[in-house]
Copies of this chain bind each other. A is one copy, B any other.
Amino acid sequence: MEPSGPLNVGSIARLCKNFGVSELRLVSPKCNVTDKNAQLMAVKGGIFLTKAKIYSSLINAIGDCPRVIATSGRIDHGNIPLLEPENAINWFLDSSDGSAVALVFGREDSGLTNQELLLAQKVVTLKTIKNYRSLNLSHAVAIVLHEIHRCEEMKSNTDSILAPKVDPALPLELNNCIEEAEKLLLEIGFLYKHTSKARISKIRALLQRSEICPSEVAMIRGIVSQVRWALDEGKSSTD
């Protein structure tokens, strides 16, 4: 999300190669990601720079990934629970074969906002010593990718899958569903324009925590449209 240092982006490209990442996606990068310094740091990962996809919003960048982990080093993460990498990663690795998973890293200076964190089902934080928590961006990427690799190896050693897991709903699907609900809740006066953001965040946090699946998203959309229909019925009978 909005990286500003070409050295960092180049280093991350190298890490993508080191750890077998399939794609590097950048949201509104604040630097030239193919400049000389980036290429220099990327070494054999240079292809990730030239093939990097650029997006203008996070939701579009992760739109096709049912499982999303965001990272946060900020203290003011509100009620969003922060997990140890290992816990989130094991969930990540349960993904059904072939479906894309996304790891989201924030800006060098300010990380990800709480709104952005809420686009992920899980948020991890990396433990450092308390009085200097700010890791360099590419070091955070290195640690998380290595953790994934480590957990993958552990898993393949002791694989005991009990039941096929259902992937959560796609971020874009859930986002559309929440937007529809928000619109309705504004119309009926449950939400007010100036405070809706905070309340909608609570609903989003609740649904992310439950790892809501596609059929459940469809159910909520069904409720929203049925409420809307009932309201219209009431109105039309006044005509």
Contact = CB atoms under 8 A, between A and B. Distances in A.
Of A14, A77, A146, A215, most buried by chain B (CB within 10 Å of CB) is A146
Given A128-B18, A139-B138, A234-B238, A202 B188 contact: no
29 contacts: A14-B136, A17-B129, A18-B128, A18-B129, A18-B132, A18-B135, A18-B139, A44-B132, A44-B134, A81-B162, A81-B163, A84-B160, A128-B149, A136-B138, A136-B142, A142-B143, A143-B143, A188-B226, A189-B229, A189-B230, A190-B226, A203-B219, A209-B209, A209-B211, A227-B227, A234-B237, A234-B238, A237-B238, A238-B238
Interface of A: 7, 11, 14-15, 17-20, 41, 43-45, 77, 79-84, 125-129, 132-136, 138-139, 142-143, 146, 149-150, 153, 160, 162-163, 165-166, 185, 187-190, 199, 202-203, 206-207, 209-212, 215-216, 219, 222-223, 226-227, 229-231, 233-235, 237-238
